[in-house]
Amino acid sequence: MVDFSLSDTERDIRDWVRNFVQRELVPLEPEVLRRERAGERGLTKQEQQDLQDKAKQAGFWGVQTPEEYGGMDLSAVMTALIEIELGRTFVPFRFGGSADNILFHANEEQKQRYLLPTIEGTRKSCFAITEPGAGSDAKNIRATAHRDGDEWVINGEKTFITGGIDADFTMVFAVTDKAKGADGGVTCFLADRDMGWTSEPIEIMGEWDRQPASMVFDNVRVPHENVLGEVGGGFKLAMQWIGRGRYMLPARALGGCERLVEMGMDYARNRETFGAPIADRQAIQWMIADSAVEIEALRWLVLQAAWQIDNGMDSRHAQSIAKLYGGTRANEIVDRVMQMHGGMGYTRELPVERWYRDMRLLRIFEGTDEIQRRTVARNLLKGHASVSGVLG
């Protein structure tokens, strides 16, 4: 049976987030814009914390964190629905109580020092695999770690590391066995900032409350007990982190597209040219219609990918399709909405140009469009997936 409806619980949770966004976040938009224009953070750390506390009081904390850690342990479908709602505003809010999926591989002692404080929000992590010479081709990383007694000595450079300026510690990936390379020769280390790595901010096109950084490891000594998982098991962990939820990125973009098209329609109803609202013009109506069709298609791609995860299926193919379609369509839609606004769309008075800059990233990080296409084509050509989709 194919059933596209939401359960009562799913609807309740979705509506709660929708109200939260409407009540707590949307009113902050003018101030967030103003601050960002002035080169400041959209939300201060305290404001982010206060909003998270408010949500927590209503029981909303740790969306995907297992219940044993106090989280809600919600399904992938529910998480996608939440991301769509959060995407409807550009206020850079995140619910508290979550930690990187691979930190759950920590041993008991590491859990106390890294996982639990991250969930509590008292320590901040970052994920560092990309290097100046290795992005899409992550297997080509050059940072090394060699063992010296009870310690590992890490050398190398990382780049574009989200949150690398604020992070207290990083999950850094380094080659520990050059002959094996990504196939058993890469290890993940939990490296505290005070172990000696340094970071420099990277200025980027979009607004980004977790500014990316370049990081330098110059003979950074990390105790052996800080190996996350197994020595040589790092590349698998890295792929697990990246694959944790490709559906979440297009889900958030989808929420933004919904809001943008609503803004575009409002504008089109009110803006008159040549004696009639532009909404009466077929050129504008087609922009609205094409955007609505793409939004609807994206919704089901995202939810279907999430549904596959909830049903224990290998969802990587579906997630790549959702990420690729979401990235390209979101960019097309924001471009149309800017066009509908004419000159106003290009100004900094409205948030359209902000969304325009933000959406561009979706086609680049966590697997570029080209890499998603490569994955999709490879899966099909090797027979790992079928053009008939999950229905076979």
Active site residues: 366
Minimum CB–partner distance for residue 103 and ligand FAD (Å): 14
* Binding window for ligand FAD (CB under 6 A); candidates: 32-40, 218-226, 336-344, 362-370: 362-370
Q: Would you say 176 or 214 has its CB closer to ligand FAD?
A: 214
At position 191, the amino acid (one-letter code) is: A
How many Å apart are CA 352 and CA 276, to the nearest integer?
A: 24
Q: Site for ligand FAD (CB under 6 A): which residue of 161, 298, 338, 362?
A: 161
207 binds ligand FAD (CB under 6 A): no
Please choose, from the candidates 210, 196, 140, 209, the residue with its C-alpha nearest in 3D space to the C-alpha of residue 173: 140
Minimum CB–partner distance for residue 80 and ligand FAD (Å): 21
Please choose, from the candidates 385, 233, 367, the residue with its C-alpha nearest in 3D space to the C-alpha of residue 313: 385
Task: Give the per-residue contact string, 123-142, with ligand FAD (x = CB under 6 A; - = no).
Answer: ----xxxx----xxx-----
Q: Site for ligand FAD (CB under 6 A): which residue of 371, 375, 376, 385?
A: 371
Q: Would you say 128 or 295 has its CB closer to ligand FAD?
A: 128
| Exposure class string for 218-256: b at 16+ Cβ within 10 A, else e | eebebeeebbbbebbbbbbbbeebbbbbbbbbbbbbbbb
364 binds ligand FAD (CB under 6 A): yes
Minimum CB–partner distance for residue 242 and ligand FAD (Å): 8
162 binds ligand FAD (CB under 6 A): yes
Helix residue ranges, H only, the chain: 8-20, 29-37, 45-57, 76-86, 108-110, 116-120, 234-242, 248-270, 282-310, 316-340, 352-361, 369-381
* Binding window for ligand FAD (CB under 6 A); candidates: 86-94, 254-262, 318-326, 365-373: 365-373
Task: Give the per-residue contact string, 91-130, with ligand FAD (x = CB under 6 A; - = no).
Answer: ------------------------------------xxxx
How many Å apart are CA 302 and CA 322, to the nearest integer?
A: 6
Q: Site for ligand FAD (CB under 6 A): which residue of 58, 204, 313, 380?
A: 204
Q: Which residue is nearest to ligand FAD (CB)?
A: 135
Please choose, from the candidates 389, 320, 329, the residue with its C-alpha nearest in 3D space to the C-alpha of residue 359: 329
How many Å apart are CA 189 and CA 62, to the nearest integer?
A: 24
Residues at the contact surface with ligand FAD, assessed by CB under 6 A: 127-130, 135-137, 160-162, 204, 212, 361, 364-366, 368, 370-371, 374
